[in-house]
Amino acid sequence: MHYDLIIRNGTCVLPWGEARTDIGVRDGRIASLTAGVADDADEVVDAAGLHVLPGLIDPHVHLRDPGDASVESIPTGTRAAALGGVTTVFDMPNTAPAITDAEMLRWKQEYASRESWVDLAMYVGATRANTPHLGEYERFDGVCAIKVFAGSSTGDLMIEDDEGIRRVLEHGHRRVAFHSEDEYRLQARKAMFTPGMPYDMHRVWRDEECAFLGTRRIVALARRTGRPIHILHTSTAEELAWLPDCRDIATVEVLVNHLTQVAPECYETLGALAVMNPPIRDRRHYEASWEAVRNGTVDTIGSDHAPHSLEAKARPWPATPAGLTGVQTLVPVMLDHVNAGRLSLGRMVDLMAAGPARVYGLQAKGRIAMGYDADFTLVDMKARRRITNDWIATPAGWTPFDGMAVTGWPMATIVRGRAVMREDTILGTPSGRLARFAP
């Protein structure tokens, strides 16, 4: 039988376990999991010594487009994703201007379809003005979810009060994603701090109760309205101990940073390059995050890739903008965690492929199975590499993981049967498409 692509000799991570098998691809879809030795293809990839994963997804990125292309854009950010082994990204709406109406959604649909190196989905930002239209906007092609900034935003994108959040939850039916820090507590505590204090004060200001209070309020409103929600970048032991009792209504994301970096050491070594929202916390919360990964509380892992220029990050606290680069380093850092024994490769795939597909209703992605999109991340679990700033494709040009030695590296990124990266080299031209979701 003839295929467009055959991937031979790899150890494939299938939904039911690992298996040595050859995958046949036709018309951008998986056509066979048992391609035979007599079968041929237009292209054959020899994956001997590699693991073939379903295409990995970063469900939480800020590609800053429209905005400042000298920091990030859809072309550069999706190029970074491809270099890092990510086949699909979900892009946040807090751009300039924000993605909050039909005109901007249509602009982004056209632009992303033309300029993205990997497949892309977009969040729509909830505002008080657009709330009545959210049920319409969530059904636009390529829209993964409505995003609510209940804290840590500015202008129209901030909806911090219970009545405003309740109204958002009553318009539409798909899962709503939340930044759940409590804005009232943030503002009440702000006067305790003065400019120029150590960067470690970031986690003191945005303390555990700020996050936990926001999450408790939002879950209560979700239950009142019957609308499913997704708590983004969950960062505290308190939230992660409480959320298993909320599985009827809430799913959970954690970030790679909260699984990798620990306060106060990160602030001592990185300074402003450790400042993000919610903040990196101490070892108690780090250990709780790993326990939540192991016990199944966590549904998805993302990077919250949110680049700023080094010049902006150099401002004294609290003027330094919160946000770190991460889409390109997500896979190598998580593979290193697998090799360190903190989670299995199968669990990583569940969190970074099947999990996002399940939570958001992403269609035909997240599994190596017949009929699914032929998205694959090929990784060398034994490769030893060092993450460095000069590898980073994002124009901001830095990573908080600069100098980190890792074991495990993405060797190829294949999107719908087309290789867009091999051995740290981008191939061809942008051919990403809008991801598809259940209506």
Which amino acids are annotated catalytic? 304
Structure-token pair, residue 251: 């799913």
Contacts of 148 (CB under 8 A, 6+ apart): 126, 159, 165, 168, 176, 177, 178, 179
What span, in angstroms and rounded, lies between the C-alpha atoms of 382 and 338? 11
Q: How many CA atoms lie within 13 A of 363 on its CB side?
A: 9
What span, in angstroms and rounded, lies between the C-alpha atoms of 239 and 185? 16
Are the beta carbons of 230 and 218 closer than 8 angstroms? no
Alpha-carbon distance values, 26 to 32, 35, 370, 411 (Å): 9, 12, 11, 22
Contacts of 311 (CB under 8 A, 6+ apart): none
b/e string for 340-351 if b means 16 or more Cβ within 10 A? eebbebbbbbbb
3-class secondary structure, 406: strand
What span, in angstroms and rounded, lies between the C-alpha atoms of 157 and 151? 9
Contacts of 215 (CB under 8 A, 6+ apart): 180, 231, 234, 239, 242, 243
Give the DSSP letter string of 312-372: HHTSPTTTSPP-B--TTTHHHHHHHHHHTTSS-HHHHHIIIIIHHHHHHTB-S-SS--TTS
Are the beta carbons of 8 and 49 closer than 8 angstroms? no
Structure-token pair, residue 50: 């590699």
Structure-token pair, residue 4: 């467009």
Helical (H) or strand (E) element with 61: strand 56-61
**Scanning the structure block, which residue is given the tokens 């680049």?**
307
Structure-token pair, residue 364: 């035909």
